[in-house]
Structure 1
Amino acid sequence: MNKLFYLFLVLTLSSCANPDVQQAGKKITYHAVDKTDTASLRLIFSDKAFEGQLEINHRGLYKDSGDVNGVLKGDTLKGTFHYQSFGVEKWYRIPIALLKKDQHLIMGVGSMEIYMNMTFFSKRVPIDYQHPKFIFEKAR
C-alpha cells in the first residue's frame, strides 16, 4: 500500500514540474515580428491537440485572421489555419507547422500540394524551420 502511495505521489509531483502539463487547457498568447509583418497567436493546448486563433498583419495593409487547430507530435504542432483575408468573403485553409524550441514557436515553411481541393505540406520536401516566416515568443 505504501509503495503504491509513493508511486502515485512521485508521478503527481513529476507532472507538476512539466511545463507542458501545467499549460494544458490554459490559453497562451504568442507574438512575432518579421520585418514589416506581425503576427499574434493564441493557443489552447490539450494532451495531444491544440486550437486557437492566428492573426497575421501584412505591412499594415491587410490581415489574415482565423482559427488554427491540430495535433501535437513531440515538439511539433501540425494542423491547419482556416482564415479569411481582410475585406474578402472567401475562406482559405492551409497547413501550419510550428516547432517548439525553448520558449518559442517556430513557424515552418514548406512546399504545398493540393489534393481533392485540400492543401497539404508536400511529403517529398521537408518543412524548413531554419528559415521561418515567424518566430513566436510568449506574450508577457
Structure 2
Amino acid sequence: MRNLILPCLLLSVIGLQSCKNNEKQKEAAVNPEAEKVVSKECYKAIYENDTLDLDLNILKNGKIKGDLVMKTAASPVKKGEIAGEFRGDTLFVDYTFVDGTNNNATFKNPLALLKRDKQLILGNGTLQTTMGVTYLVKDKPIDFDRVKYKFDSVNCK
C-alpha cells in the first residue's frame, strides 16, 4: 500500500505543476499591454470601378489588426477584419469577412501585401484549401507585379 501512495502523490504534484505552467502561458498570451495600438495607417486602392479601403492598427507586440472593405463592381461589398504580421517587407494576414448582405456566413481568406515605398501591393498567390482552411501554398511564389490592387497611403478618418 505504501508503495502505491508515493508514486500517486508524485504524479499528482507533477500534474498540478503542469496545469500552473499552462495558466501562466495563457496569461502571457492574453497580455493586454501587448494588444495596445502603437500607430495607425490607412490605405486606399482604386482599380477601374473597384475601391478597397484598408485601415491598419500596429500593435505593441508587432502584430497587425485592422479593417478591410472591398467594394468591387462585380460583387457585393465585402467588409471584414484582418489580423497578421509582417515577415520582412511582406504583410501576411487572414481576412475574415461577410459577403454583402449575407451576415450569417463568415468567410476567411489569407492575403499577402508587399510594402514598397508608401504602397502596399496585394499579391496574387496560389491558394489551397485543406479540411476547410484556406492558405497560401508555401512552395509557390506570390506575384506582386501583375496585380490589380495597389494601396496608396491616405490620411486616416
Bin for the TM-score computed over the shorter chain: 0.7 to 0.9
Which consecutive unaligned segments of at least 5 residues does structure 1 have?
Answer: 1-23
Q: Which has the larger radius of gyration?
A: 2
- The answer to whether the 8 A contact 1:57-1:63 is kept is yes
Q: Which amino acid aligns with 1:62?
A: P
Q: Give distance in 1, aligned partners of 2:75 and 2:145.
A: 27
Aligned to 2:114: 99
Note the 1:53-132 alignment, pairs <5 A: 53-59=67-73, 62-88=76-102, 89-132=104-147
Note the 1:10-21 alignment, pairs <5 A: none
Matched residue SS, 1:52: strand
Residues 8-41 of structure 1 show CA distances to partners (whole Å, capped at 9, x for unaligned) of xxxxxxxxxxxxxxxx722211101011111000
Q: Give distance in 1, aligned partners of 2:75 and 2:56.
A: 25
Aligned to 1:15: none
Cα drift, residue 54 of structure 1: 0.2
Cα drift, residue 60 of structure 1: 7.7
Q: Which amino acid aligns with 2:150?
A: I
Note the 1:8-47 alignment, pairs <5 A: 25-46=38-59, 47=61
Which consecutive unaligned segments of at least 5 residues does structure 2 have?
Answer: 1-36
Percent identical across equivalent pairs? 28
Q: Cα RMSD over matched residues? A: 1.5
Q: Which amino acid aligns with 1:30?
A: Y
Q: 1:60 to 1:121 in 2, by over 3 A?
A: closer
TM-score, length of structure 1 as denominator length: 0.78
Q: Which amino acid aligns with 2:50?
A: D
Cα drift, residue 74 of structure 1: 1.4
Q: Which amino acid aligns with 2:66?
A: G
TM-score, length of structure 2 as denominator length: 0.70
